[in-house]
Amino acid sequence: MSGAARGAPHPAAGEGGPPLIGITTYQEPARWGVWVREAALLPVPYARSVERAGGVPVLLPPAATLRGLDTLVSRLDGVVLAGGGDLDPELYGAVRHPETGPPQPQRDRFELALARAAVDADLPFLAICRGMQVLNVARGGALVQHLPEAVGHRGHAPEVGLVGSHRVRIGEGSRIGGILGASSDVPTYHHQAVSRLGKGLTAVAWTEDQVVEAVELQGHRFGLGVQWHPEEGDDRRLFEALVVAAAGR
């Protein structure tokens, strides 16, 4: 992972206060106290990363209905599409691979709709891991369902349940390159990745094995996707860039 925390100081809040950054959540069975129930969950590093970057995190559970989605998007200043389980391969016209996780139709439906609404509204967003895959599928792209089979190693998720690290090369002239430089050591944990890029998306970062590690949406004010997990590292520059963009709405 990266070294000491880096990046500019927190952006100054606009007249309306610091920007509201919506973060998508998991929907999973969970235990607390005497209860075991289905819950909307989010690993704390996502919210902390937004907060430390100067934004106000707002959790977005996967709604059962898309009613009010446009209203939601109009009240947010930015969005983080968070990581999580695998998208249903039927959504990009593929047959399910044995290693693909169980479907989560409610989360898939909500996040695909949110991604499309954010694009249409020119809402600043940062799509992380699954979130980048959601963005790609929302734009008509497709995914590699099991990377170890495709690249011949498990370096993108080297140990079950533990975040690993690898280096990415970042394209010159890209927005992510302007934030992070020509290369970066990034926290990684994924077994799927982009295969066919969606409409308007440009690949801007790669690992040594040529897996696409970041994309940018052309013509969008701030539309970035990264396959790694910046919230698990100590480099906050991507979150700070998102908050700066969101504060300028």
| pLDDT at res. 15 | 57
Bridge partners of 203? 215
Contacts 24+ apart (CB under 8 A), 103-110: 104/27, 104/62, 106/27, 106/62, 106/63, 106/64, 107/24, 107/26, 107/27, 107/62, 108/134, 109/62, 109/66, 110/24, 110/62, 110/63, 110/66
Active-site residue (options: 129, 166, 213, 216): 129
Enumerate domains of the chain plus CATH numbers: 20-28+38-247 (3.40.50.880)
Contact indicator for 45, 5 with CB cutoff of 8 Å: no
Is 229 catalytic? The answer is yes
Is 172 catalytic? The answer is no
- The tens place of each residue's pLDDT in the chain, 249 residues long, gives 444 344 444 444 445 799 999 999 999 999 999 999 999 999 999 999 999 999 999 999 999 999 999 999 999 999 999 999 999 999 999 999 999 999 999 999 999 999 999 999 999 999 999 999 999 999 999 999 999 999 999 999 999 999 999 999 999 999 999 999 999 999 999 999 999 999 999 999 999 999 999 999 999 999 999 999 999 999 999 999 999 999 997
| pLDDT at res. 10 | 43
| pLDDT at res. 16 | 72
Which residues, in sequence order, are CB contacts of 2 under 8 Å at separation 6+? 184, 185, 186, 233, 234, 235
Residue 195 identity (one-letter amino acid)? S
Q: CA 45, CA 40: separation in Å to the nearest integer?
A: 15
Q: CA 166, CA 181: separation in Å to the nearest integer?
A: 15
212: left (phi over 0), alpha (psi -120 to 50) or beta: beta
Residue 149 identity (one-letter amino acid)? E
Is 231 catalytic? The answer is yes
Active-site residue (options: 156, 166, 190, 229): 229
Q: Which helix (H) or strand (E) holds 56?
A: strand 56-60
Active-site residue (options: 111, 213, 216, 231): 231
